C-alpha cells in the first residue's frame, strides 16, 4: 500500500532549521500519525510523502509558502497592558489564546512589554522558515469512516466529538 488521500500514515521524523538545529522530532517517542489529504501536516511534506511506502526514508526541504507561510508583519500589533486581565507578571515569550478577526481562536506570543504597551505576534513560530524534514514511513492503512468524517486519525483509545 502506498500513501494517498484517505490513508492513515505513521511516520518517524526529525525537523531541523537551516542551521541544522533540531526543532522537533518523534524519534524515541510515538510516531506521528496523520490522515493524508486532510491538511493534518504542512502541505510541502504531505506532497513529498505522496506515493511512498512503508520503509521509505526521505529528506524533504519545505519552503515557507508550503510550510507555515511567510512571516507577516501585519500579524504583529501593540495592545494595551489591560487586555491581559488577571496576568500580573507579563513576560516576553508568554503565549495566549486570542480571538482572530475571523472569530477563530489563535495563539499570540508576547514579543515586547514597554510600560502599558504590549507587542504581540500572531505568526506561527515557524512562519518564514525553511523546514528540513528527515522522515521514515512506518505504516499505512485505510482510514475508517469516523476518521474520514472527523478529518483526522483516531488512536487506540478512540474519542468522542
Strands (E), the chain: 7-16, 22-25, 32-35, 57-62, 76-80, 95-99, 105-114, 117-121, 131-142
**Domain residue ranges in the chain:** 7-68+126-150, 73-121
Q: Residue range 40-50: average pLDDT?
A: 97
pLDDT top residue among 105 and 156: 105
Q: What pLDDT does 156 receive?
A: 59
Flag whether pLDDT at 161 surpasses 50.
no
Q: Tell me the whole-structure pTM to 2 decimals.
A: 0.83
Residue with cell 495592545: 79
- CATH fold, domain 73-121, is Thrombin, subunit H (2.40.10)
Task: Give the Cα separation of 95 and 92 in Å (integer).
Answer: 9
Closest to 41 measured CA to CA, from 131, 143, 159: 131
Q: Which of 46-50, 102-106, 155-159 has the lowest mean pLDDT?
A: 155-159
Q: Please determine, looking at this structure, whether the domain spanning 7-68+126-150 carries the CATH number 3.90.180.10.
A: no
Which three cell numbers mark 30?
Answer: 510515538
Flag whether pLDDT at 147 surpasses 60.
yes
pLDDT in tens, 50-76: 999 999 999 999 999 999 999 999 999
Task: Give the Cα separation of 41 and 44 in Å (integer).
Answer: 9
pLDDT in tens, 9-22: 999 999 999 999 99
Q: What pLDDT does 42 receive?
A: 96
Q: What pLDDT does 88 receive?
A: 87
Task: Give the Cα separation of 134 and 140 in Å (integer).
Answer: 18
pLDDT in tens, 99-141: 877 888 889 999 999 999 999 999 999 999 999 999 999 999 9
pLDDT in tens, 85-101: 889 899 999 999 988 77
Amino acid at each position: 500500500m502506498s500513501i494517498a488521500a484517505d490513508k492513515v500514515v505513521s511516520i518517524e521524523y526529525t525537523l531541523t532549521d537551516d542551521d541544522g538545529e533540531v526543532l522537533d522530532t518523534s524519534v524515541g517517542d510515538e510516531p506521528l500519525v496523520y490522515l493524508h489529504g486532510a491538511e493534518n501536516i504542512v502541505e510541502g511534506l504531505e506532497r513529498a510523502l505522496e506515493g511512498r511506502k512503508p520503509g521509505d526514508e526521505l529528506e524533504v526541504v519545505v519552503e515557507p509558502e508550503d510550510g507555515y507561510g511567510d512571516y507577516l508583519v501585519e500579524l504583529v500589533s501593540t495592545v494595551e497592558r489591560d487586555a491581559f486581565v488577571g496576568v500580573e507578571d507579563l513576560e516576553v515569550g508568554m503565549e495566549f489564546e486570542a480571538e482572530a478577526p475571523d472569530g477563530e481562536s489563535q495563539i499570540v506570543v508576547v514579543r515586547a512589554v514597554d510600560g502599558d504597551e504590549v507587542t504581540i505576534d500572531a505568526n506561527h513560530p515557524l512562519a518564514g522558515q525553511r523546514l528540513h524534514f528527515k522522515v521514515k514511513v512506518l505504516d499505512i492503512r485505510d482510514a475508517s469512516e469516523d476518521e474520514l468524517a472527523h478529518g483526522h486519525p483516531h488512536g487506540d483509545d478512540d474519542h468522542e466529538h
